[in-house]
Structure formats: C-alpha cells, structure tokens
Chain A
Amino acid sequence: MLLRIKDLHASIHGKEILKGVNLEVNKGEVHAIMGPNGTGKSTLASVIAGREVFEVTAGEILYQGKNLQKLAVEERAREGIFLGFQYPVEIPGVSMTNFMRTAVNEIRQYKGLDALSGSDFMKMMEEKKKLVEITSNLTNRSVNEGFSGGEKKKNEIFQMAMLEPTLAILDETDSGLDIDALRIVANGVNKLRRPDNAFVVITHYQRLLDYIVPDFVHVLFEGKIVKSGGKELALELEDKGYDWIKNEQL
C-alpha cells in the first residue's frame, strides 16, 4: 500500500478541519476527492504534504510504511510526494530553471545520485515541456510571475513531470481553467500515469473526471470521507448535487 490515512484529525489555529479521515491508495490508482467548498479537501492535501500551519491532533498518515509526521516538507517531497497547488505561488526573481534545477538536484542528492549536468538538465526541461505541451519559454521567467491562470496550472503539471513523484496530489488543478487548458492538464496527468505511481485528484466539479478517469471517487464532507465509490459516483454527484450528500448526513 502506498498511502494509508487512519482516523486523521487536523486543526488550524485551534479549529478542527479534518475530523477522522480514512483513505487508502495503492500504486497504479487514481483517486478523486470531491466535496462542497470548505469541507477540508485542501486541508487534507496540505496535511499530507506537511504544511506546518496545520496541526495533526490524532490519527496517522503512513506513506510507503513510513509515518509522515516525522518527515519535514522537503523530505516528504524527496520521498516522492508532490502537491499541485490550487493557487501556485508567484516568486519574482527566482527563475524556473534555477528553481527546478535546485529541486531536481536536491532530490537526486537525497537518493544518492549525482547532480545532473547543465546540458542534461536543459534537455530534461525541453522533454518535459513537450510532454505537457508548454510552448512558451519558461526557462528565463520567474516562477509563476505574470503567468495566466492556465499557465500556472500547466506549470504545476510541468513540475510534476520534472520531479516524477510516486504520489501526486492535485488540489483543484481544474479550477479556473478553460476547456483547452483543462485538456492539456489532463493529458499531462494521463501521460504520467504508471503502474508504480498514484494520483489523488481533488476537484469540486465532475468535469475534470471526464478527462482523468478515476478508479475511486470519495466525497469529503465536514472533515470526513462520507461516501466512496467508483467513477459513477462522480456522475451521480453531478446529477444530484452536493445537497444530496448534505441531506443524507443530516
């Protein structure tokens, strides 16, 4: 098992957001987590990635058998956890090249591999750009600075392609995308799917799941996963709306 979340409780500034989440993800699977706004979807992603502002008050997250709470943010990343941000951060003055080269080489160092040479790295950048259909010149631009909404999301997928994670969590990567950008993002994910990795796709809408077909769909509501099923659950949600879930819970 790649990821096992057991009875996870997490708070921010004393307010409990996750109230007992259970989730199991195996290699080769795509899981979709859906749910109304403000139910803890992004919190779950952040807690798995190790954002320090959240406090885990109970439960545990096991990743490849390791207790994640003992690992710092960057250690989790080097172990293969990738978070695609809902709102990618603009970092003026840090070039994409410098950013990615630092990341790739620090991960390689962690794994006991030599740093990539400049030319090998640039070759890798070009390959991955093609993979995610980025035509613009990323290399000399600052991280996300002045990127359109679509470019930012494509850039997340590009970074994912560069870092080749074992577990990728995409937090509302579809939000704010037009249909062309959505297709490109979904294609990127589909090309990166392998038997030895897994995706957790967080989305508010069913739309993305037309392009990234999940093996499992979970509904997160008020800090708990209240319903799980196959891809048909997403269609049912689309049809009946989240009120259906809310009413069921009351």
Chain B
Amino acid sequence: MDPILENSITLERMLALYEANRQVLSADDTPILSGIRENAFISLGKLRFPDTKMEAWRHTDLKESLGRGYDYYLHPTKETDIQKVFRCNIPHLDTAIIGQLNGWYVSKDVPLMELGNGIIMGSLAEAKKKYPALIEKYYGQAAHDTEEVFTALNTAFEQDGVFIYVPAGVKSPKPVQMINVIQHPENIFLQSRNLIVVGDDAQLSLVHCDDSYNHQGSFSNIVTEVFLGRNAYLDHYKLQNINNNSTLISSIYFKIESAANLESHYLSLNGGLLRNNIRALFNGPHGNANLYGLYLMDRKQHIDNHVVVDHASPECTSNEIFKGILDENARGVFNGHVLVRRNAAKTDARQTNKNILLTDNARINSEPFLEIYHDDVKCSHGSTTGQLDTEAMFYLRQRGISEESARMLLMFAFADEVVAKIAIPQLRQRIEDMVKKRLQGELRICEQCVLHCSTPEKPLEFRVDVSKI
C-alpha cells in the first residue's frame, strides 16, 4: 500500500489527512477511545506547530526537520525486510524484548503476551481490542492533548505501539526492553504510542531504546504514558541513538500515585534533533521521582530536554540531574520547570544541569524555572556551563598522562555521575563502554546502530522468549 503522505509535515496537511482517514485511524478504538481521538483532532485544530517565538520552543527550531519530505503510512511498512530487524546484544543482559519497527509492533504472530503472573505486554492496538476496559481506564489520562500539539497529533493519528501492564503486587522478574528500530528506504514519519501501567505495589524495570538502522531521515513523534500505582516502583531507561538525519520528539508523561518511586534515565548518545518532553505529575503524597539525563552531542546535533515536575501533592521528592558534553557545533537546551502547587507542603525538589562545552561553537541554553506556591518546601537548582577543569587537567598531566587521555578521563568522570545511577549492572557496563567510545569519537565509524556496534549486514531478529519471563 502507498503512503498517505509523501511531503513535508504541516498542520493543514495532517488535519486534512485525519478527515480523509478517520475510519482507518479509529479501526481498533472503542467508542470512548474514538472520542479521545476526536477530541485530540479538535485540539489540533486550535493549536499551532511550534516556532521559535513560542517560549517552549525558543531554542529548538523544527522548521528544517518538518520541511523535509516524509512518507507516512497507515499500516506497517511491509516492504521492509523483517529479517533485518536486529538482535540487541548487550552481553548477559537478560531481558524480555518487545520490538517495534517504524513504530509498529513486530512479531504479529504473538501480538499480545499474557504471562502467568498477570503481566500483559505487546501491541497497544491489540490490547485495545482485547482489554478495552483496561485501556480506557488509563489511555489519555496523563497526556496533554489540549496544550501540546505533538501530543494531540499523536493521539489523533496513533495506530500502534507498546502496551505493558504489570498488575498490582507483581514484580517483573527481569527487565523489559522496548526496542524501536527505524528502517525504511525513504524518509519516514512515524507516530507510535506507548502505554505503561505499573500497578499498586508492582515493580518494573524498563529499557526503552530508539535506534535507527540506516542513514535515511526520519521524524518520530512518540508519546508514552506511564502510570505508577500506589507504592509502585519503576526503573526506566530511555536510550536514544538515532542517525544524524533523524528527528525525535519523545513526550513521556508520568502519573505518580502516592508513595510510588520513579527512576528515569535519559541517555542521548546520537541523533540529529532530539527533544525530550518529560512530564512527571505527583498525584498522591510521598512520591519520589529521580530524573537523570546524559547527552553527548557533536557535529550539528541538537538536544533539548524539556522537563516539568509537577508537585501537585504534599511531601513528594524529586531530583533532576542532567549533564551534557557538547562538541563542535552541537546545540543543547535544558529547560527544567519545577511547579510546587499550593497544597504541596514539605516538597523537596532539586534540580541540576551541568554542561561542558568543548568548542567555542558549541552552545547550551540552560533555563531552570522554579514556580513555588507553598512556603514549607525545600527547592534548589543549579546550572553550570564551562570547559574542562584546568586544575584537574594539570594534575593529571603532571602525572604523565597525555592531554588527550586527561580530557577523556575528565569527560568520562563528568558523565559518570549519571552513568553510575544505572541500576542494571550489565546495562551500566554497556553504557560506560558506549560513553567511552562516544567520547573517543569511535562511534562515528559505525554511525548506524551505535548501540549495538554490530554490522548492519548481519541478519537481525527479535527474540522473545516468553518462557523466561
């Protein structure tokens, strides 16, 4: 089947496409879900695509990204050779793998896995059909369709993505790894939607990878809603490793119930333009959210972390540590908004953004923003931008270490504060190796799948071994 769009992405085009394809888009929807979709379309009509006059997009210009031509499909792109979907080879990392190709859930023979312990994982489209009540309970309850144009666009158009449900009291015995591979012979536009539910007292470790597998351009508009039940625990990793022709708008919404604990890590290692919209809402008291970011950018790469932590409940704690190393002409943006609402007594919110600029042409815009409506709170923020510590450089070189090695040691040490927070040892080891390679410029050599460092010629496969979960 042909793409429904072979052009640049404009709001007018998307609105027209929606009207022309309404039936196809909502094929798997219940009436309630269809209503959410229709409302998103109405919101979309009232919103505008970002421009740099908008405060939230002042330092991130999407004009060029949107202006490239893309193919957009309303069905999985069959012409892509499914044999070439790769195997993730982090050594000894035993995970349950969920694969997506160009935003569509792969392995259609098992569209939804239902495990003995009650965990459900697989295709969101399939889950809408099979568990409509469960999906309706959560879907659209965390995302902001009325305010954020890319979220509304995603809600109006999404047809598939990943659904993970960990029922109350269940502890997922091993990490779940979501791998979204982008591979298409033409530039491609994709909008997948993920829904993650970690029930009351439940636990999940989730590694979420975005990879591109060739040099072809792409524009991904991905929305992920995450619900943490009372006293739930989620350890979440977002690994971003796409090619320089790719744009990724990743919007993730966490709704955190009382006493739930979130650890969320954003490791951005490569990408043309990356925008992380991270929204964490405390929907009950005593919640905790630790958000860690590490971005290593060079050439003309652009990274924008836009973080909003909404302390809407009392006695919650949040801690943000975002660190970046920007080389050559890379551009970084950190926008951290901490909102402490009137009822949020005894909030403890901390925020740190540190950057190293390796060249005069690298740039960072760091904008912390604390908005506090309660007196009895502890809030702090700090932002530093600089070069490598000259005292430390001298100290290392005085011991006989070359300037190059000394720089590497210091950059790695800078990154290590974030890398050290990775709780899965094998993943931490792997990320340490990748950060080293990235800093040494070695990852440039294999620009495609920099996460896996395997050869693209190799046959690839998704392996899901249900018995091990």
Contacts and interface: CB of A to CB of B under 8 A. Distances in A.
Contacts of A163: 399-400
B395 interface: yes
A83 B409 contact: no
B119 to A, nearest CB: 37
A94 B410 contact: yes
Contacts of A102: 401, 405, 409
Interface string A106-122: 11001000000000000
Contact of A72 (B389, B397, B410, B420): B397
A93 B400 contact: no
A128 interface: no
Given A74-B397, A110-B400, 20 more contacts: A50-B398, A73-B398, A78-B400, A85-B398, A88-B395, A89-B389, A89-B392, A91-B413, A92-B417, A93-B415, A93-B416, A93-B417, A93-B420, A94-B413, A99-B396, A99-B399, A102-B401, A103-B396, A103-B401, A143-B395
Contact of B395 (A85, A100, A110): A85
Interface of B: 389-392, 394-403, 405-406, 409-410, 412-417, 420
12 contacts: A72-B403, A73-B398, A74-B397, A91-B409, A92-B413, A93-B412, A93-B413, A93-B414, A93-B420, A94-B396, A94-B409, A103-B396
B402 A106 contact: yes
Given A51-B394, A89-B392, A106 B400 contact: yes
A78 B396 CA distance: 12
Contacts of A159: 399
Contacts of A51: 394
A53 B394 CA distance: 10
B354 to A, nearest CB: 12
A82 B389 CA distance: 20
A142 interface: yes
A49 interface: yes
A107 B420 CA distance: 29
Interface residues of A, number: 32
Contacts, number: 80
A77 B403 CA distance: 12
A106 B390 CA distance: 20
A173 B140 CA distance: 64
A103 B400 contact: yes
A83 B395 CA distance: 9
A156 B330 CA distance: 38
Contact of A77 (B389, B400, B413, B414): B400
A52 B413 CA distance: 23
A100 B410 CA distance: 14
Interface in A48-63: 49-53
A183 to B, nearest CB: 25
A38 B217 CA distance: 61
Given A89-B391, A91-B392, A93-B414, A77 B399 contact: yes
A98 interface: yes
Interface in A25-55: 49-53
Contacts of B396: 91, 94, 99, 103
A74 B409 contact: no
Contacts of B399: 77, 82, 99-100, 103, 159, 163
A111 B392 CA distance: 24
Given A92-B413, A94-B409, A83 B398 contact: yes
Interface in A67-90: 72-74, 77-78, 82-83, 85, 88-89
B420 to A, nearest CB: 8
B199 to A, nearest CB: 37
